[in-house]
């Protein structure tokens, strides 16, 4: 996807602070953190929104969630707690149209979200 910001990050055309990478997934710091720890976990294939998921993507999405839980342990926030969020489309607050899982931690997060 030529004009996708996150695809450019995956291709290393834009610099980010990477916390995890394998053949399928990249995890890096959010540029505008909403919590002291705010990491984005993204698939390396371009999927614009959760609406584009097919059943075949289930293992990939499971691996995104597993990666977030692994990073939560690595950053020692798993006991205090953390939040994982996929935003979808306008009402969900999605601004980058390449699926990403937010990992937010190290402050008390409110519920319900605004």
Q: Kindly state whether residue 87 participates in binding ligand 5GP, applying the rule CB under 6 A.
A: yes
Report what 98 binds from Zn ion, ligand 5GP, none; CB cut-off 5-8 Å by kind. Answer: Zn ion
Q: What's the chain look like in SS3?
A: CCCCHHHHHHCCCCCCCEEEECCCEEEEECCCCCCCEEEEEEECCCCCCHHHCCHHHHHHHHHHHHHHHHHHHHCCCCCCCEEEECCCHHHHCCCCCCCCEEEEECCCCCCCCC
What does 32 interact with, of ligand 5GP, Zn ion, none (CB < 5 to 8 A by kind)? ligand 5GP
38 flagged as catalytic: no
Q: Which stretch binds Zn ion (CB under 5 A): 25-33, 35-43, 94-102, 106-114?
A: 94-102
78 binds ligand 5GP (CB under 6 A): no
Among 7, 60, 85, 88, binds Zn ion (CB under 5 A): 7
Report if residue 30 touches ligand 5GP, rule: CB under 6 A.
yes
Please list the active-site residues.
Answer: 100
């Amino acid at each position: 996807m030529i004009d996708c910001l996150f695809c450019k990050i995956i291709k290393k055309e834009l610099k980010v602070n990477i916390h995890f990478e394998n053949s399928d997934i990249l995890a890096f710091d959010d540029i505008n953190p909403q919590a002291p720890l705010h990491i984005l976990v993204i698939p390396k294939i371009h999927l614009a929104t959760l609406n584009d998921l097919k059943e075949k993507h289930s293992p990939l999405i499971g691996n995104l969630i597993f990666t977030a839980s692994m990073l939560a342990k690595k950053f020692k926030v798993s006991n205090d707690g953390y939040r994982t969020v996929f935003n979808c489309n306008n009402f969900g607050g999605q601004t980058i149209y390449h699926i990403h899982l937010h990992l937010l931690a190290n402050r008390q997060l409110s519920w319900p979200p605004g």
